[in-house]
Amino acid sequence: MKILVTVKEVAEAADDFEIEGTDIGEQFLEYDLNEWDDYAVEAAVQLSEEYDDVEVVSATIGPERSEETIRMALAKGVDRAIRVWDDDVAGADLDVAAKTRLFAAVVEEEEPDLVLSGVQAADDGFGATGVSLADEIGFDWAAVVNHLDTDDDLSTAHVHRELEGGIEELTDVDLPAVLTIQTGLNEPRYASLRGIRQAQGKEIAEFGLADLGLDADAVASPIERTAMYEPETESDATYFDGSADEQAAQLADVLRDKGVVSE
Amino acid sequence: MSDVLAVADHRRGELRDVSFEIVRAGRELAADLGGDLHLAVIAGDTEAFADRLSLAGVDAIHVVDDGVEFNHDLYAGATAALFEELSPTAVLMPNSVNGLDYAPAVANRLDLPLVADAVGLAYDGGLEATREMYGSKVETAVGVSEEPFAVTVRGGEWAAVEETADVPVEAFDYEFDESASGARVQGFEEVGAGDVDIADAEFLVSIGRGIEEEENLELIEELAEVTGATLSSSRPIVDNGWLPKNRQVGQSGKQVTPDVYLAIGISGAVQHVAGMKGAETIIAINTDPNAPIFDIADYGIVGDLFDVVPELIEQFS
Ligand SMILES: Cc1cc2nc3c(=O)[nH]c(=O)nc-3n(C[C@H](O)[C@H](O)[C@H](O)COP(=O)(O)OP(=O)(O)OC[C@H]3O[C@@H](n4cnc5c(N)ncnc54)[C@H](O)[C@@H]3O)c2cc1C
C-alpha cells in the first residue's frame, strides 16, 4: 500500500509586521510545517508501522526553501518526498483548482491507495484542496477527520468527522480515499536525531509542470489577491499599562468590580 | 439573469444558524447581480425546513427530498445538478464542517473558481471577496475574474435573515444512488461530557498555546484556584492531552457565555472566538499586540503571561 501525504510549508507572521503590496513583507514571515499536515504525516507513519509494506510519500508544492519542512516530514518517517515547482508555478497565484491539477498529476504518477492531507493550511485557510483533489481523481473522501481506524485488509477506513459543538460523525469510507486530517487525531512525534540524520539521505524528487505532463495553463488562476490590509480594529478595549504588577492590579480591580471574584 | 444559488445547512433535524446567514449573503449578492436568490434544501425534513426558510429576499426554494442527514455525495451531486438546471452566476455554500466536506467537490465538478471562507462579498462587474489570512492578522481582497463562481461563507459574518415571506417551494428531482456512495454515515457521538460543564461557569480562566509546556499549566490552575474561576482552554491544549475535551472552548468544543472570560495566551482564531464571543466581558493577556483576540476584548494586557499571571495570583492571595 502506498500513502501520499500532502504537506505544505506555511508562513506565520511575526508579532510586528508590515504589509508590502499584497503580502506581508518576507522579512516578517517565518516558515514551518503546517500544523494540520503534521498530524497527517503522523497518521501515515503510524499506518506504515502497523502494516507491512506501506510506503509513505509526501508531496508538496513549494520553492526550494520548503525542502526544510519536507525534511522534517522525512525525519519523522516519511520514506521519500516529491516537490512540485518551476518558474511557471512560482509565478502563479495558485488557487484550489490549480493545486488540484498539480496534485492530481502527482497521484497519477504515484497511484497511492490513500491520500492524507491537513484540513486547512494555517496561512491562507482555504480548507479545500483535499476534497477537491478527491473529487478530481475519483477517490472517496472524508473531511475533518479526528479519528481513524482501518480494516485489516485496508479496504475501509472507519473515521470520525469532527462536527461543530462536540459532536462527531461516524463514517465508513472505502479506500482508495482522501482524508483531510484534523488536529488531535494523534500525537505527532518529534523528529529524533537519528531520523533527522536519515532524512538527509532520503530522496526529494523535483517535478516541474512538464514532468507532470502539464503546461502553464494548469496553474492559470482566475482568482487573484488584490489587496491586503490590517483589519480595522473593532476593538474598543481598555488596555492596562504599566509594569506587570500594575497591570495585574488593574485587572484584579475589574474582576472584583464585575463581582466574579469574591475575597 | 444573474442568479445566486445558496445551500442551507442542517443537522439532526435542526437548521443551523448559517442557513439564515447565507440567505442574507445570498440576497445581497443577488441584488448586486440583479438576479434572483434560489435556496437549496437537501435531505431531512425538507418540508419543515423550507417552511422555516421562507424568508424575505428568497425567490425560490428547491427541496431535494432524499436522505435524512448530510451525505457529501448527495449534497455535491444535488447542488451540482441544481446548478446546471438554474445556471446561476454564483453558488454559495457554508464554510461549516459539512461545507468543508462537499463545497470543494462542487466547485471542482462544475469547474468553478472557489473562494473559501469569505467574510465579505461585493460585486461590481466582478466578484470581490474579503478573506482573512495568517490567523486573522490581516484581511485580503480577492478578485475573481471568471463567472460563474463558487464561494463558501463563514458563519457568524452575516446577520441572520428573520423576516418571513411566502416563498414558492419546488421539489427538485435528483437521483441519488446511495449504494454507489463510498462514504457511509454510521451515526453520531457526543464527546466532551465530564465532571465540569464550562458552559455553566460565570468566570472562565482560559489558557491557550502561549502556556508552552504542560508543567506551566500549574500556574493557571493556581490562578483559577485563588479566583474561584473555572478552567477552560483553546484547542491545542486539548489536542496535547493537557486538559480533557470538556474544557475546550470553540466551534468544535463548547460554546460558553460567562460573565467574564479571561483569555490567556490565546490568539483568538475564528474557531475559538465562535465559542466565546458571547461572554459578557472579555479580557485578554497576550504578548502580541496584533493578536485578533484584542479585537473582541473589552480589556487587554499586552504582556507576557509569565509576568502578569503570578502578579495576578498575588492580588488574590
Ligand atoms: C475545523 C476546525 C475546528 C476548530 N475548532 C476549534 C475549537 O473548538 N477551539 C479552538 O480553540 N480552536 C479550534 N480550532 C483551531 C484554531 O484554528 C486555532 O488553531 C486554535 O484556536 C489556536 O489556539 P491558541 O490561540 O491557543 O494558539 P495560537 O494561535 O498558537 O496562539 C497562541 C497565542 O499565545 C500568545 N503567546 C505566546 N506566548 C505568550 C506569553 N508568554 N504570554 C502571553 N501570550 C503569549 C501568542 O502571541 C499567540 O497569540 C479549529 C480549527 C479547525 C480547522
Q: What's the CA gap between A40 and A186, in Å, rounded?
A: 9
Cβ distance of A230 and B137 shorter than 8 Å: yes
Average pLDDT on B73-97 reads: 98
Cell of B17: 444558524
Interface test with B, best of A133, A160, A169, A246 (most B CBs within 10 A): A169
**DSSP at B110:** H
Residue among A111, A109, A43 at smallest CA distance from A77: A43
Q: What is the mean pLDDT of residues A102-116?
A: 98
The confidence band for A263, taking pLDDT boundaries of 50, 70 and 90, is low
A180, A224, A255 ranked by CB distance to B227: nearest: A255
Nearest 5°: the CA angle A31, A37, A40 is: 155
CB pair distance less than 8 Å for A12 and B135: yes
Q: What confidence score (pLDDT) does residue A58 get? A: 98
CA B245, A42, A140, B182 dihedral sign is: negative
Taking only the tens place, the pLDDT of each residue in A201-245 is: 999 999 999 999 999 999 999 999 999 999 887 678 999 999 999
Shortest alpha-carbon distance between residue B168 and chain A (Å): 31
Torsion (CA) B283, B139, A161, A155 in degrees, nearest 10: -150
Do B137 and A19 count as a contact with CB atoms less than 8 A apart?
no
State the pLDDT confidence band at A177, using cuts at 50, 70 and 90.
very high
B101 to A225: CB separation less than 8 angstroms, yes or no? no
Region A144-149 average pLDDT: 97
Gyration radius (Cα) of chain A, Å: 22
B247, B275 contact by CB (below 8 A):
no
| Per-residue confidence band for B194, with pLDDT thresholds at 50, 70 and 90 | confident
Does A226 contact B188 at a Cβ distance shorter than 8 Å? no
Nearest CA in chain B to A22: B140
Residue B195 scores a pLDDT above 90: no
Which of B135, B183, B303 is the closest to A171 by Cβ? Answer: B183
Q: Write out pLDDT tens, residues B5-63.
A: 999 999 999 999 999 999 999 999 999 999 999 999 999 999 999 999 999 999 999 99
CA distances from B155 to B16, B78, B93, B116, B270 (A): 10, 22, 10, 12, 10
pLDDT in tens, B129-187: 999 999 999 999 999 999 999 999 999 999 999 999 999 999 999 999 888 889 999 99
Q: Do B260 and A258 meet the contact criterion of CB atoms below 8 Å apart?
A: yes
pLDDT tens, residue by residue, B224-257:
999 999 999 999 999 999 999 999 999 999 999 9
Which are the contacts of B165, defined by CB distance < 8 A and separation ≥ 6?
A: B54, B55, B56, B57, B58
Q: Which residues contact B99 (CB under 8 A, 6 or more apart)?
A: B9, B93, B152
The model's pLDDT over B296-312, given as tens digits with 9 standing for 90+, comes to 999 999 999 999 999 99
* Residues with a CB atom less than 6 Å from ligand 1: A 119-120, 144; B 97, 135, 208-210, 234-236, 248-253, 265-267, 269, 271-272, 275, 285-288, 291, 304-306
* pLDDT value at B192 more than 90: no
Chain B interface mutation, best of A163, A189, A225, highest count of B Cβ atoms under 10 Å: A163
Chain B touched by A221 (CB under 8 Å): yes
3-state secondary structure of A45: helix
Query: C-alpha grid cell for residue B42?
Result: 437537501
Q: What is the pTM of this model?
A: 0.96
Q: Give Cα B74 distance to the centre of its chain.
A: 21
What single string gives the DSSP state of each residue in A58-127? EEEE--GGGHHHHHHHHHTT--EEEEE--HHHHHS---HHHHHHHHHHHHHHH--SEEEEES--TTT---
